[in-house]
Structure 1
Amino acid sequence: MSTAVVRGYPQATAVTISQWAESGQRCAMTIHPPNHPFRWRDLRTLGIPEFTLRRWLDSDVVRRLLTGVYCSTELPDTLELRARCVALVLPDDAVVCDRTAAWLWGVNAHDPDDRFGVPDVEVAVPPGHPKPRRNGVRGMERDLKSSETASVFGVSVTTPVRTALDLACIRGRWGALAVLDAFMSEHDLAHKDFALGLTRFKGRRGVTQVRELYPLATPLSESPGESWTRGVIIDEGLPMPEPQVEITANGVLMARIDLAYRRQRVAVEYDGEEFHGEEQRDHDESRRTWLREQGWHVIVIRKEQLSGPARADWLAELGRVLGERSARVKRLYARSRLPWQRPS
């Protein structure tokens, strides 16, 4: 009978393949995930075989929150839980920053194509301090004032304003705008908060981009995809759309449009997979059919249309429709019989 040494198996003894399979099923049924976050290297201490963790991950009993950090899916995704996860891999002299800090503050700073990935923990150390070198942690040097850091359940993290500005310096234009939008929405930040925080960023790479973008940020954007779509429109040189426009009929709310041009009756909507899946499709189509019946021109965007030829197509459509529906406003002057009294 064939045997195998199963890595992570209790006592690490040689067992038959059938015994290993039976024990795996038994462990998956009898062992329960801890009620706290844990690391891969903690498995032996917790008495959890590696194959049991793999089974839990495959069956959604456990989820991976950070590289090498796991927790039961029964635990609610709270700020405290996220902080406890980060604390497991955070060096003593480091401050959580950038995307990990945004994640702790409840802001998703991923691009539309990678927003469901699990990035490394990003931490900052004071200038001259050794950067952490370990799997799942990316270290960098940052000169941070005490006013630019906060404690979240015992974890040192950059403040919402500092986090937003740091990310807006290093992200692409549309990703930067999405981050600024999200922090304004989640943490009630205002344009003046960004302006004040930028006084510390003089000469930093990317600061020119942030100075240009933060006046365009809005707390009304409800997803990174909406912010990206608005950014594409802005960069194309088209008029700025109004976010989250509510359309009523006889006092009843009939539709809420992601981005709209009220006067021209043009709607631009971003359909993200998490908000506009199969269960939402019928509702979306009914709402958009009603808008079209009321004379609205509706353009629907998905993430694959944010780049390449597909982007050029819908931008051309938007520009054409706005041009056709924009009434030319003539300047009217009082006529005068005297040439020198007429406006030049």
Structure 2
Amino acid sequence: MTVPGLPEVFVGRDAVRDGVLTAAHLRGPKVRRLFRGVYCPRSVRDSHELRCRAAALTGEGALVLTGRSAAVVRGVPLASMSDPVEVIALPGHRVNRRPGLQVRRVVIDKQDYEPWEQISIARPERMMFDVLATGSFIRAVADADRILRAELTTQARMTAYLEDRHDHGVVRAREVLALTDPRAESPPESELRVRMHFVGLHPEPQLHIYSGRKFIARVDFAFEEVKLVVEYDGDWHGQGWALSKDRDRMNKLSKEGWEIVFVTKEMMRDPAAVLDMIEAALRRVGGGSARRRRAEIPR
């Protein structure tokens, strides 16, 4: 049931004051509570962006939306409905902790945020810094790849932004940034690239392969010197037209002497086995017989 006069997110006491709802309605089936005192109609689809907008109505006006939450608002879906809304509390302001609100108390420069809704939102470089500096190392690379691919910022701008900073997490942010690549087309591709990097494998991502002047295929990863392709086979590859098109380009690559290693989502549950498979394929095609030095992926 919809309730006329209610916006997608609203402060409960305001709706009661205006006579749109009663206090009893706030405890009933017509609305859903997002934060203490902030609600949405039950018919509204819940999402992380909706929860960000709800966070702006909590009365905690001294907040800056940042990190993956700011990325969602800017069009890059890095957080789910169940993830907490990431905010920075501005200096000199007391902010009450609330379930679903992840509050950080760190220094943020005034030029690093701008007005948004009833609070503020981090500008792209500050937003990206908070993504680079938080979460697991692999997730940070994958999320940063998506931000770069969406062209919200660039590697060059981020390098300049981080250059003279001494914030907590800036060393980790630089390490993650060094491994980003906006050519990545999915988080699993980013993960596979990072895992290969840490065992000493450095294929060329998104390589265009030609036979003479004729374009044959663009592949996820290629060891061009030994004609070995590594393809991440996402869910869409098995769907109708995509399967047919994919098999056609793989056949063309095989005809030109390329060997192809397929990696699937299920296989990535055991990344060590995937790396062993790729290394075995490299040895088979003459890409080296010695086992490569494996380094631990930072946390």
**Residue 207 of structure 2 aligns with which residue?**
245
Native 8 Å contact 1:96 1:124 kept in 2: yes
Native 8 Å contact 1:37 1:85 kept in 2: no
Superposed counterparts of 1:119-268, under 5 Å? 119-152=83-116, 155-187=119-151, 189-199=153-163, 201-202=165-166, 204=168, 206-238=169-201, 240-248=202-210, 253-268=215-230
> Relative contact order: is structure 1 or structure 2 higher (C-alpha 8 Å, sep ≥ 6)?
2
TM-score normalised by length of structure 1 = 0.65
Aligned with 1:319 (options 279, 284, 290): 279
For structure 2, list consecutive stretches of 5 or more residues without a partner in the other structure. 33-41, 289-299
Secondary structure at the residue paired with 1:64? coil
Distance 2:286 2:265 in 1: 28
* Larger gyration radius, structure 1 or structure 2: 1
Shift in CA distance, 285/191, structure 1 to aligned 2, threshold 3 Å: same
For structure 1, list consecutive stretches of 5 or more residues without a partner in the other structure. 1-26, 55-59, 71-82, 111-115, 329-344
Q: Partner amino acid for 1:92?
A: G
More helix by share: 1
Shift in CA distance, 255/142, structure 1 to aligned 2, threshold 3 Å: same
In the TM superposition, what is the alpha-carbon distance from 1:203 to its structure 2 partner? 5.6
Distance 1:323 1:152 in 2: 54
Write the deviation string for residues 186-209 of structure 1: whole angstroms up to 9, x where unpaired.
Answer: 2263333222222454262x4333
The runs of 4+ residues in structure 1 deviating greater than 4 Å are: 31-36, 39-44, 46-54, 83-86, 152-155, 248-253
Native 8 Å contact 1:87 1:155 kept in 2: yes
Secondary structure at the residue paired with 2:217? strand
Secondary structure at the residue paired with 1:306? helix
Shift in CA distance, 277/65, structure 1 to aligned 2, threshold 3 Å: farther
Native 8 Å contact 2:209 2:215 kept in 1: yes
Aligned length: 271
Q: Partner amino acid for 1:311?
A: P
TM-score normalised by length of structure 2 = 0.74
**Residue 70 of structure 2 aligns with which residue?**
101
Write the deviation string for residues 23-48 of structure 1: whole angstroms up to 9, x where unpaired.
Answer: xxxx5xxx489895235959984698
Shift in CA distance, 300/90, structure 1 to aligned 2, threshold 3 Å: farther
Secondary structure at the residue paired with 2:218? strand
Q: Partner amino acid for 1:291?
A: L
Distance 1:156 1:260 in 2: 43
Native 8 Å contact 2:47 2:81 kept in 1: no
